[in-house]
Amino acid sequence: MADFTPIPKNIEESNRSVRVFVSYGKDAWNRLKKNKVAVASLVFIIFVILFGFAGSVFFPNYTKQNLLNTFAPPGSPGAPLGTDELGRDLLSRLVRGTKISISIGLTVATINIIIGSVYGGIAGYFGGAADMIMMRIVDIVISIPEMIILILLLTIISKGMPTLILALCLTGWTGTARLVRGQVLQLREQEYILSARVLGAGKFFIILRHLLPNAIDPIIVRFAMSIPGVIFAEAFLSYIGLGVSIPDASWGNLAQVGSNQFPNYLWLFFMPATLFSLTMLAFNLLGDGLRDALDPKQRW
Amino acid sequence: MSNINSNTDVNHSNPLLEVRSLKKYFKVGRRQFLKAVDGITFHIYQGETFGLVGESGCGKSTTGRAIARLYSLTGGEILYDGMDISKFKGKAATRYAFDVQMVFQDPYASLDPRMTVESIVAEGMKIHRMYNSEQTRAKVYELLEKVGLNKEHAARFPHEFSGGQRQRIGIARALAVNPKFLVCDEPVSALDVSIQAQIINLLRDLQREFNLTYLFIAHDLSLVKYLSDRIGVMYLGSLLEVAPAEELYKNPLHPYTRALLSAIPVPDPAEESERTRILLQGDVQSPINTPEQCKFYSRCKYAEARCRERIPPLVETTEGHWIACALNKELNTDAYAI
Ligand SMILES: Nc1ncnc2c1ncn2[C@@H]1O[C@H](COP(=O)(O)OP(=O)(O)OP(=O)(O)O)[C@@H](O)[C@H]1O
Ligand code: SF4
Ligand SMILES: [Mg+2]
């Protein structure tokens, strides 16, 4: 006869349902945490942001020249990453460049997401003639090549950060507007929205309590995915001399200065270019991870 | 099967809701109008269940939604307690929202996936700031019990429930503002048959307990018969026949209703083999820019010239039995017997 061991007394305890109730956001966060690549990207992005913002406290002298110490190689005393052709410390300039590039990226992406969401939300929610006219305007803005507007504005008004931000915002919101409009059009016919209307809910209540929470996922993904595009546009414009100009620093003009010396003093080019590329990659990978984590079909 | 809903509380002198020549057209093209509801007239007495049946796309939901004030009307009017509901603003609109609530067709689309059951059920109480948060919670628990759930369910999200349970949550949400009138838009057609009966029984119990008046929409005549005091039969935006449930079954007059009823199998095999089925000829017309004639014309075996003169109005042929057919009383004669 086989030996049977008696069931432990606390069977009740061990048999209890282990189902825990998690909110929507937490659930998505748990799924994101399981994605190694996305987590690594997030950590890297946080590191880059700290590098730019906390770093600027410790390395503020990004314009200080020292003509006696030009093109110092990395590891030189007082210049851990070397110096450029005017003897400016590359680490300080890289910190400054990171701060500027990330700031522009986040600012422009935020403004674009807000404008696009509000614009698309209004068009989708009110529909009819307003929607028609608003979406034709979007079509027109989209049909004008972005670079032409950017270059035109930057040459006509002035170079520099404010114009750069304005120029990047002028065209960047259209994609979000289309996305959000589509979302809202689809959501507003959902029966739970109708139910709220039958219960006597006002427009603001419906927008805040139902539309926004249900439309937010793709907006978040789009936000993360749009940052590298903005950073790239900024870098490109700064590289060709239309964006952030020396002596201020951004990834774009740092790479430009470095490429002027190519193939000598390679670190001047590769340091900013590598940081820039890795950050772009990290934002894209994080965006992918977010999209998967927020996919409703992944929810159990 | 007899009618389980022989509700003694029906007040026949007092229509709670009157729908008069209701029209709702949707603009679908430059000059194209989809006539979802094209001039229907009926009334619902205080305390009764009015069943509205018809094929998919005939305009049942549109009618229900118009009553729930979700649409602006193309024509006609809807009177609640004698008042035109399209004129309600501010306080009157709020009072109407308290009185008239809706249960929806799709249990998967009718609950916000982002909200807990508690906030879903409490939504109406929150919109109108009816109670403080403690009272609201207590009321939510009470409502959940009423619809056959319990308070452990309150913290969960809709996706954790079955279709039948979701429909119960939707019913609790509607009941939260203490309504008098419920528009039930096919509340069980998305559910398994075994679950359907549970929900129907729940609705019937709630009706007794709270003295509710129902507009019960369904595409299945046998279901409506079980629940309704009176039944209206819709076809392509028109209301073709209105009669008490028993009467409609025993003595259907309109050619469309006769065809519909002949399609329902009867439980007795002997009777079933005797039964003649009326097969409908032709196709359902498109609802877009339908001509001003009997909507059933293209499929009716009695169709003749006078059927095309206008949309036949709904007239009372015998006490309480209304039909919209150009032949009208002649349908009662031997010439048109089934
Ligand atoms: N917002 C809208 N815009 C255009 N057409 C609509 C709209 N809502 C409904 N319709 C059309 O109006 C007609 C009636 O629709 P309705 O939803 O009232 O039908 P129904 O009888 O409830 O059908 P079902 O049994 O499928 O729910 C259909 O042809 C439908 O396509
Ligand atoms: S009006 Fe004419 S076509 Fe219409 S149901 Fe009556 S007999 Fe048939
Ligand atoms: Mg419907």
Is A182 within the bounds of a domain? Answer: yes
Chains A and B: how many Cβ contacts under 8 Å? Answer: 68
Tokens of A239: 């590289």
Give yes or no for residue B182 CB within 6 A of ligand 1.
no
Return the residue matching tokens 């189902």. Answer: A19
**Residue B191 pLDDT more than 80?**
yes
- pTM: predicted TM-score of the whole model, two decimal places: 0.82
pLDDT at residue A280 greater than cutoff 90: yes
Residue A130 clears pLDDT 70, i.e. is over it: yes
- Rounded to whole angstroms, the Cα distance separating B171 from A256 reads 66
What whole-number percentage of chain A has pLDDT above 70?
A: 92
Determine, yes or no, domain membership for A241. Answer: yes
The domain that holds A174 is classified in CATH as 1.10.3720.10
SS3 B43: strand
Residues B9-32 have a mean pLDDT of 89
Residues of chain B contacting A198 with CB distance shorter than 8 Å: 68-70, 97, 100-102
Q: How many domains does chain A have?
A: 1
* CATH of range B13-110+179-338; options 3.40.50.2300, 3.40.50.300, 3.30.70.20, 3.40.50.10440: 3.40.50.300
pLDDT band at B329 (very low <50, low <70, confident <90, very high): confident
Kindly state the average pLDDT of the residues A24-34.
Answer: 84
For strands B238-244 and B230-235, give the pairing: antiparallel
Q: What is the mean pLDDT of residues A216-222?
A: 90
User: Who's near B112: CB < 8 A, 6+ residues apart?
Assistant: A192, A209, A210, A213, A214, B120, B158
Considering only CB atoms, which chain A residues are within 8 Å of B123? Answer: 195-196, 199, 201
Q: Which of B28, B32, B61 to mutate to test the pocket of ligand 1 (most atoms within 8 A of CB)?
A: B61
Instruction: Note the pLDDT of residue B44.
Output: 96
Instruction: Delimit the domains of chain B by residue range.
Output: 13-110+179-338
The separation between CA A256 and the C-alpha centre of its own chain, rounded to angstroms, equals 23
Chain B residues with CB under 8 Å of a chain A CB are 65, 68-70, 93-94, 97-98, 100-102, 104-106, 109-115, 123-124, 127-128, 155-157, 159, 170, 173-174, 177
- The larger pLDDT score, comparing residue A13 to residue B194, is at B194
Question: Which amino acid, one-letter code, is at A89?
Answer: D
Summarize the confidence of residues B73-81 as an average pLDDT.
Answer: 95
Q: Which ligand is nearest to the CA of B219?
A: 1
Residue A5 belongs to a domain? no
Mean pLDDT of the region B157-182: 94
B87 pLDDT more than 90:
yes
Mean pLDDT, residues A47-67 taken together? 86
Q: Ligand 3 centre from B287 Cα, in Å?
A: 15
pLDDT at A163 over 50: yes
pLDDT of residue B41: 96
| Arithmetic mean of pLDDT, B165-175 | 96
E runs forming strands in B47-159: 49-53, 75-80, 83-84, 100-103
Region of poorest pLDDT, from A200-214, A251-265, B59-73: A251-265
List C-alpha distances in Å: B310 to B296, B297, B306, B324. Answer: 12, 11, 8, 11
Best to test chain A binding among B101, B106, B115, B123 (most A CBs inside 10 Å): B123
Quick one: pLDDT band at residue B285, thresholds 50, 70, 90? Answer: confident
Q: What is the mean pLDDT of chain A?
A: 86
Calpha distance B320→B46 (Å, rounded): 16
- C-alpha to C-alpha distance for A175 and A215, rounded to whole angstroms: 15
Question: Which atom of ligand 2 lies closest to the CA of B240?
Answer: 5
Determine the Cα–Cα distance for residues A14 and B19; give it in Å rounded to an integer: 60
Q: How confident is the model at residue B7 (pLDDT cuts 50, 70, 90)?
A: low
Confidence tier at B2 by pLDDT (50, 70, 90): very low
Structure tokens at A113: 């997401």
Is it the case that residue A14 has pLDDT exceeding 70? no
Model pLDDT, residue B236:
94
Predicted local confidence at residue A19, as pLDDT: 52
Residue B142 is encoded by which pair of tokens?
Answer: 């009470």
> What ipTM did this prediction achieve?
0.90
User: Which phi and psi (to 5°) does residue B41 adopt?
Assistant: -135, 125
> Does A106 map to a domain?
yes
Cis-peptide into A263, omega within 30 deg: yes
Question: Is the pLDDT reported for residue B1 higher than 50?
Answer: no
* C-alpha to C-alpha distances, B272 to A35, B3, B258, B338, nearest whole angstrom: 62, 21, 16, 16
Of all protein residues, whose CA lies closest to atom 24 belonging to ligand 1?
Answer: B56
**Can you tell me the mean pLDDT for A261-284?**
88
Ligand 2 atom with the shortest distance to the CA of B306: 2
H or E segment and range at residue A288: helix A267-294
Q: In what order do the strands lie in the sheet with B83-84?
A: B33-46, B11-27, B75-80, B83-84
> Residue for token digits 């029984």?
B201
pLDDT score at B35: 95
Which residues lie below 8 Å from residue A254, measured CB to CB, with a gap of 6+?
A93, A94, A97, A268, A271, A272
Task: Report the mean per-residue pLDDT for chain B.
Answer: 89
Give the pLDDT band of residue A1 (cuts 50, 70, 90). Answer: low
Cβ-contact A148, A212 below 8 angstroms: no
Angle in degrees, CA B41, B6, B232, rounded to 5: 20
Which of A241, A256, A131, A114 shows the shortest CA–CA distance to A173?
Answer: A114
Q: Is residue A19 part of a domain?
A: no
Residue B212 has pLDDT above 60, yes or no: yes
- A298 — pLDDT class (breaks 50, 70, 90): low
pLDDT in the model for residue A295: 75
Instruction: State the pLDDT at residue B176.
Output: 95
The answer to whether the Cβ–Cβ distance between B102 and A192 falls below 8 Å is: no
Q: How far apart are CA A81 and CA B186, in angstroms?
A: 72
Q: Looking at the domain assignment, is residue A8 inside a domain?
A: no
When pLDDT is averaged across residues A160-182 and rounded to a whole number, the result is 89
Contact of A118 with A245, CB cutoff 8 Å: no
Average pLDDT of B199-219? 94
For residue B70, give how far its alpha carbon lies from the nearest alpha carbon of chain A (Å).
7
HSE toward the beta carbon, residue A253, CA cutoff 13 A? 19
* Structural domain of A258: 43-298
Q: Which of A211-225, A232-246, B202-216 has the highest mean pLDDT?
A: B202-216
The fraction of chain A above a pLDDT of 90, given in percent, is 38
- Beta pairing, strands B321-323 & B100-103: unpaired
Kindly state the average pLDDT of the residues B294-305: 90
Work out the end-to-end distance of chain A between its first and last CA atoms, rounded to an integer number of angstroms.
Answer: 43
Residues 6+ apart with CB under 8 A from B314: B40, B41, B42, B239, B240, B242, B322, B323, B324
Selected for mutation to probe chain B from A17, A26, A190, A198 (highest B CB count within 10 Å) is: A198
Residue B161: predicted pLDDT:
92
Nearest to B257 by CA among B237, B232, B228, B225: B232
Statement: residue A300 has pLDDT above 50: no
Distance (Å) from the alpha carbon of A177 to chain B's nearest alpha carbon? 23
Cβ-based neighbour number of residue B238 at 10 Å: 25
B60 CA distance to ligand 1 middle (Å): 8
Rounded to a whole number, what is the distance in Å from the CA of A121 to chain B's nearest CA? Answer: 18
Task: Count CA atoms closer than 13 A to A233's CA, side-chain side.
Answer: 25
Q: Which amino acid is at A292?
A: D
pLDDT, residue B82, reads 92
Sign of CA dihedral B316, B317, B319, B321: negative
Is the CB of B97 less than 8 angstroms away from the CB of A205?
Answer: no
Q: Which residue of B has its CA nearest to A214?
A: B114
Handedness of CA A256, A260, A262, A267 (dihedral sign): negative
Nearest to A32 by CA among A297, A290, A295: A290
Inform me whether the pLDDT recorded for A207 exceeds 70.
yes
- Residue A274 located in a structural domain: yes
Which atom of ligand 1 is nearest to B287's Cα?
29
